[in-house]
Amino acid sequence: MTSPIATRSEAIARLSACLPMTGSVYAQWRNTDFGPGGGNRVSGLSPWLRHRFVLESDVIDAAVAEHGIEAAEKFIQEVCWRSYWKGFLERRPVHWHDYCQARSALIANARQYRDLGARLARAEHGQTGIECFDSWVNELIEFGYLHNHARMWFASIWIFTLELPWALGADFFLRHLLDGDPASNTLSWRWIAGYHTPGKTYLARASNIARYTNHRFSPGHALANDAPAPEGVERPPLEAVPRAVEWSCSEQTGLLITEEDLNPESLFGHPNWAATIALQATQSRSPHPVADQVDAFSQQGLTDALGRNEGRCPLGVLGIDTPRQRHQVCALMRQTGVQEWLTPWVPTGPSADALGLLSSQLQADGIYLKPVPRDWDLSVWPHATHGFFRFWKAIGPMLADR
């Protein structure tokens, strides 16, 4: 594998290249992980889709044009899982905040208690003695990617065999995955652990791993035999979804770009922006340092997005992870004289947390951010209320009419 290039042109090229396998090939082979360089029959688009170099609707439309909606159904479902997770977390942001709180407490516990700290270190360094798990750790650290099926096995082994807290595993993924997404990652780990669907966990089985790794791994009796579900799991009340926003551009409107949406021109077009700025919050994904390649991918993507969206006063790519960084950004934005900044909607997660802190500081200076949601999100997020297949049934007519 080569280091991925974080540009929109690369995303379009990869989408074009993967289209032939988004029909029956994907349906047949999507669950099989042949390993790095083994020719997995999946799109590999996730880092670009996560940062919205390309949109879910773009990818779905391209697959339907190539194969028809029925032949491409399994691939379309996989794309829609992202929309489901994003909508689910947007409607229940408490899951993100609870995760962050639990993660911080567990990191402190791992420093205080030797046994937990030692077991966590062995897992994160791929030294558990479970061959498949240790291999996936090394693959994740080297490439910033794991096949989706491997992620499920990994999380199950982490929780039920190694008996480590799920929130620390979610943090490990979010630090290393190029496509690390606060909704998909957090909620997937919750699902494996039995907190998403009450009473339902996911148990990694040796026979399943052997079959779907093409017998690269056969963990035998090394894995847990059961995955007990936690008791007393309840879903919090639904919060309102974002609503459509009236917006317009004047000679005094600025563009603010985040790593959550690196294709703002498809939303706003190419007005004569008074000023442009790209804000990076990658290091806010974890209290621990985020992997260099993850940080670099986001930074390169933000630079690419700025290059495609020119303004009269470009401020560049700036971090907003720390109070000092946010203070510097406020000063620069204030100097432009621009009082309204448009930005694509920033969903629940670390970018939204950091941007919320910045926004409060800016408002004190009479500077306002206007987040604008996309039509796709406005259409599908309201249906992310229960399980995926209820969501899928609800959005099916919309997909058929595209």
247 falls within a domain: no
Query: Is residue 109 domain-shared with residue 51, that is, in the same domain?
Result: no
323 falls within a domain: yes
Closest CA to 25 of 40, 46, 15: 40
Tokens of 121: 């270190």
β partners of residue 273: 311
CA distance 353 to 122: 31
- In CATH, what number is assigned to the domain containing residue 106? 1.10.579.10
Query: Is residue 208 domain-shared with residue 284, that is, in the same domain?
Result: no
Give the residue from 205, 222, 239 where a domain finishes: 222
Residue 214 has pLDDT above 70, yes or no: yes
Instruction: Answer for the pair 46, 143: CB distance below 8 angstroms, yes or no.
Output: no
Query: Is residue 102 domain-shared with residue 29, that is, in the same domain?
Result: no
229 falls within a domain: no
Query: Is residue 107 domain-shared with residue 75, that is, in the same domain?
Result: no
What's the pLDDT at 38?
Answer: 84
235 falls within a domain: no
231 falls within a domain: no
118 falls within a domain: yes
The total number of structural domains in the chain stands at 3
Percentage of residues in the chain having pLDDT higher than 90: 96
Which amino acid appears at position 30 of this protein?
Answer: R
Q: What is the pTM of this model?
A: 0.97
- Give the length of the chain: 402
Q: What is the mean pLDDT of residues 335-347?
A: 98
Half-sphere exposure of 361 (CA within 13 A, CB side): 18
What's the pLDDT at 2?
Answer: 66
CA distance 87 to 93: 10
How buried is residue 137: exposed, middle or buried, by Cβ count under 10 Å (0-12/13-18/19+)?
buried
316 falls within a domain: yes
Using one digit for the tens of pLDDT, what is the confidence trace for 280-334?
Answer: 999 999 999 999 999 999 999 999 999 999 999 999 999 999 999 999 999 999 9
Residue 70 has pLDDT above 90, yes or no: yes
Instruction: Answer for the pair 93, 348: CB distance below 8 angstroms, yes or no.
Output: yes
Q: What are phi and psi of 256, to 5 degrees?
A: -115, 125
Query: Is residue 276 domain-shared with residue 168, that is, in the same domain?
Result: no
Q: What is the mean pLDDT of the chain?
A: 97
Query: Is residue 45 domain-shared with residue 100, that is, in the same domain?
Result: no
- In CATH, what number is assigned to the domain containing residue 292? 3.40.50.620
Q: Which pLDDT band holds residue 401 (cuts at 50, 70, 90)? A: confident
Q: Which pLDDT band holds residue 343 (cuts at 50, 70, 90)? A: very high
Query: Is residue 104 domain-shared with residue 123, that is, in the same domain?
Result: yes
Query: Is residue 197 domain-shared with residue 148, that is, in the same domain?
Result: yes
Query: Is residue 216 domain-shared with residue 100, that is, in the same domain?
Result: yes
Mark residue 199 as left, alpha or beta (left: phi above 0; alpha: psi -120 to 50; beta: remaining): left
111 falls within a domain: yes
In three-state form (DSSP H/G/I as H, E/B as E, the rest C), the secondary structure along the chain is CCCCCCCHHHHHHHHHHHHHHCCHHHHHHCCCCCCCCCCCCCCCCHHHHHCCCCCHHHHHHHHHHHHCCCCCHHHHHHHHHHHHHHHHHHHCCHHHHHHHHHHHHHHHHHHHCHHHHHHHHHHHCCCCCCHHHHHHHHHHHHHCCCCHHHHHHHHHHHHHHCCCCHHHHHHHHHHHCCCCCHHHHHHHHHHHHCCCCCCCCCCCCHHHHHHHCCCCCCCHHHCCCCCCCCCCCCCCCCCCCCCCCCCCCCCCEEEEEECCCCCCHHHHCCCCECEEEEEECHHHHCCCCCCHHHHHHHHHHHHHHHHHCCECCEEEEEECCCHHHHHHHHHHHHHHCCCEEEEECCCCCHHHHHHHHHHHHHHCCCCEEEEECCHHHHHHHHHCCCCHHHHHHHHHHHHHCC
Q: What are phi and psi of 105, to 5 degrees?
A: -65, -40
Q: What are phi and psi of 347, to 5 degrees?
A: -70, 170
Query: Is residue 117 domain-shared with residue 18, that is, in the same domain?
Result: no
Using one digit for the tens of pLDDT, what is the confidence trace for 84-116?
Answer: 999 999 999 999 999 999 999 999 999 999 999
Query: Is residue 115 domain-shared with residue 77, that is, in the same domain?
Result: no
Instruction: Determine the Cα angle at 384 with ends 381 and 388, to 5°.
Output: 130
Percentage of residues in the chain having pLDDT higher than 70: 100
Q: Which domain holds residue 77?
A: 8-91+379-400
Query: Is residue 142 domain-shared with residue 169, that is, in the same domain?
Result: yes
Q: What are phi and psi of 363, to 5 degrees?
A: -60, -30
